[in-house]
Amino acid sequence: MSLTTPAQRAADIAQERGTPEREERSWLRLTEIFFSIQGESSFAGMPCTFVRLSRCNLRCTWCDTTYSFNGGDRTEIDDIIDRLDAIGCKIVEITGGEPLLQRPVHTLMSRLCDLGYTVLIETSGSLDIAPIDERVHIIMDLKAPGSGEVDKNLFSNIAHLKPTDEVKFVLLNREDFDWAIATIEEHHLLEHAQIIFSPVHGELSGHELANWILESGKTIRLGLQIHKFLDVE
């Protein structure tokens, strides 16, 4: 019979509750590692290895990775790094789920930076980003009303963004677009980071969103999730 350690029990409880873990440990709950084309940031089009961690504290209406909400394999950080080394791509994106729910993700990211990797993290914007290693490129969502999670945005995160970081808005309709523009203006977001507007795939036309961006007169990048057009992960 296998024994469950206190750290494992604490992680199990946190998973059930959808809350950030407090215990430091040497492993992460891993959904998958895969090599593909980065699809929705300023790195779009670049080869990238993705580390998808398990668990998420949000339930966005348009989420396309619901399989990462629960479960996941307990994988040692050393083993994750070995797998990344074997793939050989020096751009790595940590994603989920919500990767910041697992405290050891900070150890993984810092170790990868030390090894010369370009490390990206994609996070929902609902958890504190202040502890993230300053060498990591942050891609932070702000959830629009159409996500069903607009009340979870942690706007205090804006102060911790670097000019090279990115704030991504996934937009379902014109209401979401207008909300995003108002949020950019209210929080002076263009002074803090790059801004990306991405349409919900299959719901909002990229052509229509492009026209709205042009009409706004703001310096906003259109993100089209090119991996979906290529039919890759």
To the question of whether residue 97 is assigned a binding role by annotation, the answer is yes
To the question of whether residue 125 is assigned a binding role by annotation, the answer is no
Distance (Å, rounded) from C-alpha 69 to C-alpha 34? Answer: 18
Helix (H) or strand (E) holding 76: strand 73-76
The one-character DSSP state at 138 is E
To the question of whether residue 37 is assigned a binding role by annotation, the answer is yes
- Give the three-class secondary structure for 31: strand
Distance (Å, rounded) from C-alpha 185 to C-alpha 80? Answer: 40
To the question of whether residue 195 is assigned a binding role by annotation, the answer is no
To the question of whether residue 48 is assigned a binding role by annotation, the answer is no
- Give the three-class secondary structure for 191: helix
Distance (Å, rounded) from C-alpha 30 to C-alpha 27? Answer: 9
To the question of whether residue 63 is assigned a binding role by annotation, the answer is yes
To the question of whether residue 79 is assigned a binding role by annotation, the answer is no
Distance (Å, rounded) from C-alpha 53 to C-alpha 106? Answer: 13
To the question of whether residue 95 is assigned a binding role by annotation, the answer is yes
Tokens 């970081």 sit on residue: 165
Give the residue numbers of the binding site: 37-39, 52, 56, 60, 62-65, 95, 97
Binding site members for [4Fe-4S] cluster: 56, 60, 63
Residues making up the binding site for substrate: 37-39, 52, 95
Q: Which residues are annotated as a binding site for Mg(2+)?
A: 65
Annotated binding site for S-adenosyl-L-methionine: 62-64, 97
